[in-house]
Amino acid sequence: MSPPPLSRQQPRPLSVLDQNRATMGPQSQNRMSLESRTHQIQANSHKKRKSGQQLTLFGGTAFDPDSDCEVCKGRLAGRTVHRTHHKLCPNNRRTKGITSEATLQQIKIDESLKKHFNMPLTEAEKGSSWHITKEAGEAFFAVRNPPTNIAKIVAATKATTTTTKPTFLVENFCKEVMCKLNHQPVVDSHANHWAPLAMLAFASVVVEKIIRDKTLIYEYFKNLAMHVPPTKDMHDNPHYHSIVGQKLLLVDWIKLHGLDIKCPDCHGANLVNDRTNFSKNKLLFPIFGIEGPPTWCMVMSMTCPRCKRRHMANDGKILSQIPAHAAVAYPVESKYALAKNCHISREATQVFDVLMTTYDNGDLCSRLLFNAINRAYLERVTSYYSYGKEFSGSANCEYIEDAECIRTYPPLGDAVRDAYDEASNSIHTPWKLSDHDRHVREIQSVNCGK
């Protein structure tokens, strides 16, 4: 005997009521039906209400001061009722129509704080140490002795000023640079570096002749910077002529400014100089701007003797910690001193802050950086050949090409936008507050009053 054929109809899915019956007992089902029925009756109440009345959640009539408060009702009728307003009436001076004691207490606290902050400071409260201990006030207003490194710098500066003539003359820079560029092993070793060969050769001469001589470093470096000096025979050497006027920075806060810098991570010990990026790898750190060719930096690497961490002297953590008179010597804002392979100068980022806020055009900002390098190169070529035409006796040779001059380029539009976003959220500012948080608080402080 064959089995009966299967039905083609699909089984009917269980309803919510069937599922509840399968999972709940009768008491739970009855309670659920009673609650739903109660709310249904309250919603479909047949009570007649006057026009303008508002119903509560459970179907009742909302409080109306004109009909439920005896004082307000009497005023409408033209009579005076000598009693307090209803506790739900907004005219009640104590409750203001609010029945929650916690809310009333918070309103009192807000009013007292508002009165406190709107009250101007008295002359006795300005700059006083009333709310701190006596020891803390004396420590704050005590006369601070300058760091010991500043005394050494002053002594070295006086020693350099007493000498009538430095041991290394400015006219020797061009000869020393060209000697290094004519040495083929030096050229081959620096072939793949970022900076131009002439700038690398100039930095090598500065390290050998000036930085190692501890008395000349304060004579040539002013506020961390040293300009490539012009010489009489610079128009005979296109490589040296291409870097005349450019800046070489030695970012060393301990040696040149005599600062004692705390470790930004552990705050337990002063940082100690280790070495620069040029002394180990012969690298120069670029700073791109809109005012001309890039600035090249020899950046000191500092270590903490306590936590053993390493920090670069041009990091935003260090720039936001040192005094403003010293930080201004490094031409980059502390919030833009990011952990990148290049930085953007202070003049450029001030322009970018206006452009990016309004237009968000990172490609335009990038083109401005590229255009500054191109304009500087064209000016150098024009000056070089015009000098050779004016003085025919000079040995004028072919000028260097652009690919031979520089091997690193400014950031593109996407990188500029990313740097702007990261700088907006950076807390490495003099006031230790990011621009994003500062703008949010400014927007939140705006009121709707007149």
Report the alpha-carbon distance of residue 342 to residue 297 in Å, rounded: 10
Q: How confident is the model at residue 371 (pLDDT cuts 50, 70, 90)?
A: very high
Return the residue matching tokens 């401005």: 368
Percentage of the chain lying above the pLDDT 70 cut: 79
Q: How confident is the model at residue 42 (pLDDT cuts 50, 70, 90)?
A: low
> 60 vs 249, which has greater pLDDT?
249
Mean pLDDT of 366-391: 89
pLDDT value of residue 280: 80
Report the alpha-carbon distance of residue 257 to residue 60 in Å, rounded: 78
DSSP assigned state of 63: P
pLDDT value of residue 164: 45
pLDDT value of residue 272: 94
- pLDDT at position 294 over 50: yes
- pLDDT at position 338 over 80: yes
| Structural tokens at position 114 | 């508002």
Report the alpha-carbon distance of residue 19 to residue 25 in Å, rounded: 11
pLDDT value of residue 7: 47
Alpha-carbon distance values, 235 to 63, 201, 228, 243, 386 (Å): 94, 17, 14, 12, 10
> 165 vs 88, which has greater pLDDT?
88
pLDDT tens digit string along 395-415? 567 787 655 666 788 999 999
Mean pLDDT of 128-156: 67
Report the alpha-carbon distance of residue 3 to residue 11 in Å, rounded: 20
> 353 vs 31, which has greater pLDDT?
353
CB-based contacts of 206, cutoff 8 Å, min separation 6: 220, 226, 248
- pLDDT at position 133 over 70: yes
Least confident of 72-81, 359-368, 439-448: 439-448
Pairing of β 272-276 and β 247-251 = unpaired
| Structural tokens at position 258 | 């005599």
pLDDT value of residue 369: 95
User: Among 334, 332, 241, which Cα is nearest to 294's?
Assistant: 332
Domain extent listing, the chain: 148-440
pLDDT value of residue 331: 95
User: Among 289, 190, 189, 296, which Cα is nearest to 243's?
Assistant: 296
CB-based contacts of 423, cutoff 8 Å, min separation 6: 333, 335, 336, 338, 349, 435
pLDDT tens digit string along 171-199? 888 889 989 888 888 788 777 788 888 89
Least confident of 10-19, 56-65, 219-228: 10-19
Dihedral sign (CA 423, 425, 427, 431): positive
Report the alpha-carbon distance of residue 286 to residue 301 in Å, rounded: 16
Mean pLDDT value across the chain: 82
Report the alpha-carbon distance of residue 362 to residue 416 in Å, rounded: 6
pLDDT value of residue 55: 67
> What is the pTM for the complete model shown?
0.65
Q: How confident is the model at residue 286 (pLDDT cuts 50, 70, 90)?
A: very high
> 336 vs 59, which has greater pLDDT?
336
- pLDDT at position 450 over 80: no
> 286 vs 20, which has greater pLDDT?
286
- pLDDT at position 329 over 90: yes
R_g (Cα) of the chain, nearest Å: 39
Report the alpha-carbon distance of residue 354 to residue 288 in Å, rounded: 18
